Amino acid sequence: MDDSSREHETTGDGGAGRRRGLERRQVLKTTAGGAVGLSLAGCLDTYGAIIGDDDTEPITVGVLAPGPDSDTTGQSNVRGAQIAVDELNDDGGILGREVELAVGDSNRSAREGSREYQRLVLEEGADVTVGVATSEVLEGILDDVAEQETIHLTAGAVTMTPSELIGEQYDEYKYHFRVGPLNGHDLAAHQLDFLDAMGGELGWESFAVLVEDYIWTESLWDVYEDELSGDVTFWEQYPPATDDFTDIYDEIATTDADAVLEAVAHTGATSLVDWNRTQQPFAFGGVHMPMQSPLYYDQVGGDCEYAVGYTNVTPTSDHTEKTQPFIQEYQDRYDGNSPVYTGYSSYDAVHVFAQAAEAAGTLDSDELVSTLEDISVTGTTGTIEFYGADHEFAHDVVYGEDNVNPVYFQWVEDENGDGVQNVIWPDEQAESDYVEPDWI
């Protein structure tokens, strides 16, 4: 389980002194080794040679990810960012400077995420940070981001806290932007848009709402309560320790619900497998983070067949001219594997930062904030723009048909017996019709 505590250690270095602090460490490291001394007579040329020239040093992108060597979401965070960095370097870098990647492992812990964030900025000299796949970790670094005054581009977490803080204390928290996925409110709104468009065709007129009780689902639950139309026969926010859904599903079955709508991440495998193996008399759909992985069918032995889920992009969907080239490059590099949602957002985040820096002509964070607030970038997930500073979702990626508009897909088995994610909505992306489970 993620550490949801927002208490964390901080250093005494403020954001304005971040680069100066790094330079001072470089000076101390050199003088302590005895290789070079700063004479009492003083020599600015010598000092400049020791600390280096900011205009020629590489620009460092810090990636904060869970288990980048083993966790699927963390791997995609790093791999997506690395592909973007390589593309930038092939095209002259950023502001004429080479771009390098530094990686930190949050270990899905708020405390560890805070420590690794500080290491990336204060020791690795990150000029920007991207990533963070879990809401607990993102909430745990927000004060650090404010203190260091360094742009952070979220690629993975959906908690609404960043935009709330920007609205309350803009000058302190303005350095946060969310490139993807949609924030929690828009995630739920997108789900309701799907139901409005497809509910009748799917035969889903009555619903059971089942949501895991984590930070990231709070805003989704609020939207469901306020805006979900139709006959809702069952409501439950279940505790994180739940490891058997049989009794819950048996109770839902007595309500004659057409479908269970879920919002799950940490407990997703058990909730889905229990539905499939017990062949419950209702459909399964919603925001199911593990099911987004293109490898998920094999990982659960086919027990996700017929389930419907949300994702930014599938391996076969085509949102912009950037989508399929990125997927192909990812597959070519990583043994045919496709990215999960964090890979697309991390890739897009690095390119968004690069375009902002080029447009502003500087790495100054305050100037970059102003540029990012007005930027429009064609990414792999759509046209990336951010809600304005006065919007209730300040600095979150804009949801809509002309911006980022995710898809709903269904896991089905193809003619070769392989599991595939077939997009069923929106219509312009649809690859097939919905297939009802054969036991219903």
Any idea what DSSP says for residue 3? B
d(Cα 307, Cα 91) in Å, to the nearest integer?
42
Give just the sign of the alpha carbon dihedral 205, 208, 212, 213: positive
The tens digit of pLDDT for each residue in 231-265 reads 999 999 999 899 999 999 999 999 999 999 999 98
pLDDT score recorded for residue 229 = 86
d(CA 389, CA 167): 7
What is the CA 135 to chain-centroid distance, rounded?
Answer: 9
Partners of 309 in beta bridges: 286, 409
* Whole-prediction pTM: 0.87
Q: Is 30:36 a contact under the CB 8 Å cutoff? A: yes
Q: How far apart (Å, rounded) are the C-alpha atoms in residues 198 and 249?
A: 23
* Domain covering 185-311+406-429: architecture: 3-Layer(aba) Sandwich (3.40)
Distances in Å between the alpha carbon of 54 and those of 22, 24, 127? 11, 13, 11
Check residue 252 and give its pLDDT.
98
Q: How many whole angstroms separate alpha carbon 1 and alpha carbon 202?
A: 35
Q: Is residue 22 scored above 50 in pLDDT? A: no
Q: Yes or no: say if 347 and 80 are a contact pair by the CB < 8 Å rule.
A: yes
Beta bridge partners of 155: 180
pLDDT for res 34? 39
Longest Cα pair distance anywhere in the chain, in angstroms? 87
> Would you state the pLDDT for residue 53?
55
Question: For the structural domain made of 15-181+324-384, what CATH number should be given?
Answer: 3.40.50.2300
Please report the DSSP string for 55-81 in residue order. Answer: TTSPEEEEEEES-TTT-HHHHHHHHHH
% of the chain residues with pLDDT over 70: 88
- 132 within 8 A of 107, measured Cβ to Cβ: no
**Euclidean distance between CA atoms 406 and 410, whole angstroms:** 14
Q: What is the pLDDT of residues 149-191, one digit of tens each?
A: 999 999 999 999 999 999 999 999 999 999 999 999 999 999 9
Question: Are residues 84 and 53 in contact, defined by beta-carbon separation less than 8 angstroms?
Answer: no
- Calculate mean pLDDT across residues 10-33: 34
Comma-separated ranges of CATH 3.40.50.2300 domains in the chain: 15-181+324-384, 185-311+406-429
